[in-house]
């Protein structure tokens, strides 16, 4: 059994967790998150917190119990504190700006790239850095990954979009004779 699922998950005082047969709903000061419940996992809310347990003895249930415990921890952290990711852009002429619910990118292509910002995310663009904030960890991470995929950092000059703290392994260029 997972170590995460052995002990109950503590609930912050300002959150409310409700479990129905088909979904888990976490409500907090920043918003509400809903996750579908799996048939092999039982989730119960008690005085000491949220308890996640497996219903059967199958390998799938054993694999899912820790995953669901981690998902519930992330949901509780998201509705209380929120999550953020920072992206950095490097390269001559590479820039971005936010106009309403659209992110405009100039990435060295022959055309500007426009990306719609998903509902529930706040995006701030400074010179060289882009901050993505929201209460859903999956949405924040997926949007950051989609932006990074538009122009991945290349290994020779390091140009492109990368995460803050990401190390790009540089390659040696051509040698002059």
Reply yes or no on whether the pLDDT at 44 is more than 70.
yes
Say whether pLDDT at 142 is over 80: yes
Domains with residue ranges and CATH for the chain: 3-80 (3.90.930.12), 83-163 (3.90.930.12)
Q: Write down the residue that tokens 């981690």 correspond to.
A: 70
- Take residue 18 and report the two structure tokens written for it: 């409700």
Q: What is the pLDDT of residue 97?
A: 93
DSSP state of 177: -
> What's the pTM?
0.89
- Output phi, psi for 129, to 5 deg: -125, 145
Which helix (H) or strand (E) segment holds residue 61: the answer is helix 59-80
Least confident of 55-59, 78-82, 115-119: 55-59
Contacts of 174 (CB under 8 A, 6+ apart): none
Query: Residue 150: in which H helix or E strand, if any?
Result: helix 137-150
Mean pLDDT of 57-65: 89
Apex 143 CA angle, 93 and 148, nearest 5: 35
pLDDT in tens, 67-110: 999 999 999 999 999 999 999 999 898 999 999 999 999 999 99
Rounded Cα distance between 170 and 123, Å, is 29
What's the CA gap between 90 and 103, in Å, rounded?
A: 17
22-32 pLDDT, tens digit each: 899 999 999 99
- H or E element that contains 5: helix 3-6
Summary mean pLDDT of the chain: 91
Q: What's the CA gap between 96 and 16, in Å, rounded?
A: 38
């Amino acid at each position: 059994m997972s170590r995460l699922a052995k002990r109950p998950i503590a609930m912050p005082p300002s959150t409310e967790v409700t479990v129905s047969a088909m979904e888990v709903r976490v409500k907090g000061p920043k918003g509400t998150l809903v996750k579908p419940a799996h048939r092999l996992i039982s989730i119960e809310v008690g005085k000491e917190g949220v308890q996640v347990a497996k219903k059967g003895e199958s390998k799938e249930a054993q694999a899912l119990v820790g995953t669901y415990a981690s998902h519930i921890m992330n949901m509780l952290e998201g509705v209380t504190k929120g999550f953020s990711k920072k992206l950095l852009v490097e390269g001559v002429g590479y820039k971005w700006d936010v106009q309403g619910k659209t992110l405009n990118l100039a990435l060295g292509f022959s055309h500007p790239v426009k990306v719609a910002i998903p509902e529930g995310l706040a995006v701030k663009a400074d010179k060289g850095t882009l901050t993505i904030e929201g209460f859903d960890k999956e949405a924040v991470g997926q949007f950051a990954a989609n932006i990074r995929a538009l122009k991945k950092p290349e290994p020779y000059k390091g140009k492109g979009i990368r995460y803050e703290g990401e190390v790009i392994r540089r390659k040696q260029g051509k040698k002059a004779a």
